[in-house]
């Protein structure tokens, strides 16, 4: 247990950040790194959709739509689209990092359970004063 770890007990009572503040600093730094990777993946998806015309889109319920990460999007579909991008930043992302991105985005998708719920939430955010 870390409560008895000398490194932990040495930091207690000293000026500056305490253990909890240092923990949240690390969490924040990790969150910022993940956010950067999400932005890279979003850029790859945007470029993927820009390269394709309506005839090259995915068909959903008889309607052709651009690729977007939705509730039913699989990790394979996500990875296939993102990894098809030639951007150096995308190429620098490992499979593990891309899986982390998909899981992070997936957590947000599942929170809303459907695109309709997500749209309702987003609409309510923009109509608040």
Domain residue extents for the chain: 17-127
pLDDT for the residue numbered 115: 59
Contact partners, residue 79, CB within 8 Å, separation at least 6: 95, 98, 99, 102
* pLDDT band per the 50, 70, 90 thresholds, residue 78: very high
| Residue bearing the bigger pLDDT, 18 or 47 | 47
| Residue bearing the bigger pLDDT, 48 or 119 | 48
Q: Is the pLDDT of residue 58 over 60?
A: no
pTM of the model: 0.68
Residue 106 half-sphere exposure, CB side, CA atoms within 13 Å?
13
Element (H, E) at 19: helix 19-51
CA 5 to chain centre: 34
* pLDDT band per the 50, 70, 90 thresholds, residue 96: very high
* Residue 95 backbone dihedrals phi, psi, to 5 degrees: -60, -35
How far apart CA 51 and CA 58 sit, in angstroms, is 13
């Amino acid at each position: 247990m870390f409560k008895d770890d000398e490194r932990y007990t040495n930091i207690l009572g000293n000026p500056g950040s305490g253990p909890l503040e240092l923990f949240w600093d690390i969490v924040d730094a990790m969150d910022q790194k993940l956010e950067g990777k999400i932005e890279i993946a979003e850029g790859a998806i945007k470029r993927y959709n820009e390269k394709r015309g309506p005839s090259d889109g995915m068909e959903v319920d008889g309607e052709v739509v651009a690729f977007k990460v939705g509730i039913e999007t699989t990790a394979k579909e996500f990875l296939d689209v993102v990894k098809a991008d030639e951007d150096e930043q995308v190429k620098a992302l490992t499979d593990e990092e891309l899986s982390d991105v998909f899981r992070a985005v997936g957590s947000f998708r599942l929170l809303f359970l459907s695109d309709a719920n997500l749209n309702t939430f987003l609409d309510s955010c923009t109509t608040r004063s």
